[in-house]
Structures are given as structure tokens and as C-alpha cells.
Amino acid sequence: MSNEEPPGERPTFDREAARARYRKMMRGPFMRGVGIFTVVVILLSWAWGAAAAFAPNVEHLPNHDYSVRPARCIACHTQPANAPRPAGVALPPRMPHWSAPSCGFCHRQSLPPK
């Protein structure tokens, strides 16, 4: 007897071969990379959320509302100590982090004045 199916019948499903193919695919380098990428995204989102939760509140400082462009924040908070500034304006604190797309991304800010 041969192991071939008769010509008119549908081939039987080989469950063990399908399981082996599935295991090989799920343990392959692509799926491992997807798993690692997923873990990295989850960890970064937790870190970003923690940074936003513990960021200082700049809501009540003058000129610190949503209308301030991030480039202006960076220019002000990264200027050297001996840079000229208007009378009565103190040196702003150094920025201890890189800049996000908006300062309101992490820091609590108020709406622009009406």
C-alpha cells in the first residue's frame, strides 16, 4: 500500500505538521523581534507616563502657557549664564531633559490668556 491519498478524496489534515509549522513560525527571529519591540514600547510608555506624572507644574509661571513654542522654551532655558537679558528677569533654570514636541506634553500648562 502506498501513503498517497486516492485521487478523488480530500487530503487529511496533519495536525502535528501544522503545530510544528506554527511553533517554527512563532519562535522565529521575526516574531522574537516583534515581541522585543512590544516590550520596549510598553516600557517606554510607562516611563513617559511616569515622567509626565512627576513633571513640575509650570502652569502659574508667566509666559508658560500652551501658546509658547518649544523652540522658545529651549532658547530661554539653554542660554548661558552671562547672556544679556532684560532688567529684572532672572536666569531660568537649566533644562534637565531633552525637549519633547511640546512642553505641555509633560509639564502642566494653562491655556493662553484671553
Do residues 65 and 110 touch, judged by C-beta distance below 8 A? yes
- Give this prediction's pTM: 0.52
Q: Which residue has the higher pLDDT, 99 or 46?
A: 46
Residue 71 has a pLDDT of 81
Q: Which of 111, 53, 101, 48 shows the shortest CA–CA distance to 73?
A: 101
For 101, what's the count of Cα atoms within 13 Å in the CB-facing half-sphere?
Answer: 2
pLDDT, residue 2, reads 57
Break the chain into its structural domains and give their ranges: 12-54, 57-80+92-114
pLDDT tens, residue by residue, 59-108: 777 777 777 777 887 888 888 778 777 777 777 777 777 776 667 667 77
CA distance 71 to 81: 18
pLDDT tens, residue by residue, 1-32: 556 666 667 778 888 999 999 999 889 999 99
